[in-house]
Amino acid sequence: MPTNIRYTWRLLGLEVASVLLAVLFLVPFYFVIANSFKSFSEILINAASLPEALNFENYSRVWDIMKFPKVFTNSLLITLFSNIGLVIISSMAAYRLVRYAGKWNNLLFILFISAMVIPFQSVMIPLVQIANQMGLIDKLPGLIICYFGFGVSLNIFLYHSFIKSIPLEIEESAVVDGCSIFGVFWLIVFPLLKPITVTIVLLNSLWIWNDFLLPLLIISNPDLRSIPLATYSFFGQYTKQWDLALAALVLGITPIIIFFLAMQKHIIEGITAGSVKG
């Protein structure tokens, strides 16, 4: 085709423009990372330059002040156990709601789904009171139980539409073979749910890892803080001490960035799957 050459030039131009745009898009990260290695006075002189030397002193101070290993472990435990619990309770509930879709179960499903419209602010004030009465305040398991409640709607919704697409015959033959209903679910159905389970775990992880307001309301003990909480209180104490604050920010975003880069294919696919169905 004669238009081929012109087309390629146009594409090359677009390619260059796109890459420049992407670099511009990521410039904020450059500012934060470059300045996190500078001393306070060096930041004040010029925030746009590269650091004079790769100085890790800010990092080692922040590591201790923030109790980073502790905080990181807390975030990890909260995300991990919330995910395990959510996957178990939502997959079981969704399975039952699909396979025994009577009048009541359909109603229950609608109840779970419509709650997705409720904003957190319309729940949080009495929630703090209830959590207090049930002894959930200032405990990691308490926070995790709260995530069970908030995550279950979307998780059931995603499992529900996935389970509907699984043919019934597989389960029926297992029942004929004398498998109990629990056996059918855990040995036959649950393994088939793996693709949607991966999606759900990734979506939950991004949400729970970054969540801030719920832990702010539930946790007050400094030893139980998650990364966002610790960053928040760090900024409260070290306002305008940019050398330390920036090192704290870089430490705070590193785990989730690594997680994203490692899992990006699944995350992006999961987002498409999760939102297109919504």
Partner 1 sequence: MAGRKKRLEWLHQFVFVGPALFFFSMIVMIPFILSVYYSFTSWNGVSSLKPWVGFENFYSILFQDSGFHNSFWFTLRFTAAQVVLTNVVGFGLALMLTQALKSRNLLRTAFFMPNVIGGLLLGFIWQFIFVKGFASVGKITGIGFFELPWLGDAPTAFWGIVIVSVWQGAGYVMVIYITGLMNVPKEIREAALIDGATRWGMLRSITIPLIMPAITVCLFLTISWAFKMFDLNLSLTKGGPFNSTESVALNIYQEAFRNNRLGLGTAKATLFFIAVALITLIQVKYTKNREVES
Scanning residues 88 to 117, which ones bind partner 1 (CB under 8 A)? Answer: 88-90, 92-93, 95-97, 100, 105, 108, 111-112, 115, 117
The crossing angle, in degrees rounded to 10, of helices 103-114 and 140-164 is: 120
For residues 14-39, one letter each, b for 16 or more C-beta atoms within 10 angstroms of the residue's C-beta and e for the rest, the string is: eeeeeeeeeeeeeeeeeebbbbbbbe
For residues 149-178, one letter each, b for 16 or more C-beta atoms within 10 angstroms of the residue's C-beta and e for the rest, the string is: ebbbbbbbbbbbebbeebeeeebeebeeee
Residue keyed to tokens 């409260």 = 236
Amino acid at 78: I
**Judged by CB under 8 A, does residue 278 bind partner 1?**
yes
Q: Which 231-260 residues touch partner 1, going by CB under 8 A?
A: 231-232, 235, 242, 245-246, 249, 252-253, 256-257, 259-260
Q: Which 122-161 residues touch partner 1, going by CB under 8 A?
A: 122-127, 129-130, 134, 145-146, 148-150, 152-153, 156
Interface residue with partner 1, options 211, 224, 225, 247 (CB under 8 A): 211
Least separation in angstroms between CB 173 and partner 1: 19
**Judged by CB under 8 A, does residue 186 bind partner 1?**
no
The conformational region for residue 240 under phi > 0 = left, psi -120 to 50 = alpha, else beta, is left
Stretch that binds partner 1, among 27-35, 56-64, 164-172, 188-196 (CB under 8 A): 27-35
Stretch that binds partner 1, among 52-60, 160-168, 186-194, 211-219 (CB under 8 A): 211-219
**Judged by CB under 8 A, does residue 56 bind partner 1?**
no
Least separation in angstroms between CB 239 and partner 1: 10
Contact, 84 vs 155, CB < 8 A? no
